Amino acid sequence: MAYYNDLREWIAALDRAGELKRIRTEVDPILEITEIADRVSKGAAKKYGRPGGPALLFENVKGANGVPVFINQFGSERRMQLALGVDKLDEIADRIRQLLNMKSPEGFLEKLKMLPMLADMGKFFPKTVETGPCKEVIKKKDFSLLDFPILQCWPKDGGRFITLPNVITRDPKTGKRNVGMYRIQVYDATSAGMHWQRQKVAAEHYRELLRQGAAKASSSGQDGGLQPSEDAKKRTCVDIMARSGGGSVLASGERPSGTMDVAVAIGTDPAMTFSAIVPAPPDVEEFIVAGFLRQKPVELVKCETVDLEVPASAEIVIEGYVKLDELRTEGPFGDHTGFYSLEDEYPVLHVTCITHRKDPIYATTIVGKPPMEDAWMGKAVERIFLPLMKLTLPEIVDVNLPVEGVFHNLMVVSIRKSYPGHARKVMNGIWSLGQAMFTKCVVVVDEDVNVQDIGEVVLKVFNNIDPERDIQFTLGPVDSLDHASRLPNFGSKMGIDATRKWPAEGFTRPWPDEILMDEKTKAAVDKKWKDLGIE
């Protein structure tokens, strides 16, 4: 299978595969593109013969100065497979398993056998190059975010939002880079709202800089403007320590103190874009994840005005900084839950430079009531990172994050049950795994239940449970987008133990057998089936 150096190779591959629809009719980036893409995601399966409809390239976008809009690139299982260069997503999971199962070689021959695998691992690591296509146009002044066809997705959105960015920040303690996908609300030509929720890595980078600033101020006997006010203590977005009013754009080359560098890459190759959403281990850079997925290193170039590196082949790069003492209202935003996430206070990105290719393509996505493009991205994460989940919880057989559960609301897990209370141990283990801590409801079933078959799951779950006995509740962190929780970012979660109950768990009644036909009768009917004339 193919891997792609940039977004353009990916678009050309989709075109050859019959997975791309070019649209030349003029469309408006305000609401119209969303309505078109939503209809394709939800209703075009019958017309096009495949789930999710085609990827869409809008070539005549109103007010876009000729910049096309690319959307729904990951909007089907087949396109996710094409994007990652595999025939089945489980192939990537198998590669991860091989890495996890590597053992120290014993003897010279075993070491020789490992050399090819070690050489392949060298392909994962990014390399910095002198320049790249993203530097074809460099604007350090007279630039504007509004030069690009950034969408307003839904009628009650707070404005236009960048929805498919690679947001790059650096850990102030370790120097390691993080690439996350956080929506960005455009306020005006040179400023935007950075929606990194408090549990996200970029938010932790921000908090660490605040802690360092507060520590310096404390040691020098100054407040540094970073001591927590009563107003700041009430804020819920990223636990900031202070708040000021909106800032103004400084002259070229000027920079206030107390800031954090940010770079935003838009329109990267599909493996790089996908890597921004994966739940990678904390110490593994997403650039390495992308190299693993594409089996060749990501080429990076240094930014012009901030101390960060970005993918050299990106279509558009936005450079800037956030001030550590500034928040601004961001939202509302029509989110993947099917509801609007509400307004809240978030850091402000001040743009210092924009670079792009000579004829850039603006890549974006929309979220809303499922199924949409993000459904297929989420299912890919589910399949690919199952081995990492099993590394911590080896009793897990399979997991399913149903699209209708918008990923963080429902997880169905099958396990090899080995001891009383095993299902409850797994529930608590899942709630301790990174972003899985947000899972509102975990349902645990026995290993013989196909968790991918929701009909079978419902049959087994609601036959197997005694609600008072088998449902447990716990309190903890919840997703910032959860509008039903008792408090922002904090609420309850539910676990359902739908496994067969054992005497050691206090169940002394006989457990009935499941109704199944015997194999001899099934084979006899198989032989007669055509003669019966039923089909």
In terms of residues, how long is the chain?
535
Q: In what order do the strands lie in the sheet with 490-497?
A: 396-400, 411-415, 441-446, 490-497, 471-477
Q: Do 298 and 236 touch, CB atoms closer than 8 A?
A: no
* CA dist 485 → 332, 433, 475, 482, 533 (Å): 18, 20, 10, 6, 56
What letter would DSSP give residue 152? B
CB burial of residue 330 (10 Å; 0-12, 13-18, 19+) = buried
For 347, the token pair is 């850091």
Beta bridge partners of 490: 477, 487
What letter would DSSP give residue 435? G
Distance CA 482, CA 339 (A): 10
User: Containing H/E element for 390?
Assistant: helix 386-392
Distance CA 46, CA 40 (A): 10
Give the active site residues.
335
Distance CA 417, CA 507 (A): 15
Q: Do 423 and 415 touch, CB atoms closer than 8 A?
A: yes
Q: Tokens 């947001």 label which residue?
A: 167
Distance CA 20, CA 371 (A): 19
Torsion sign over Cα 42, 47, 51, 54: negative
Distance CA 297, CA 112 (A): 24
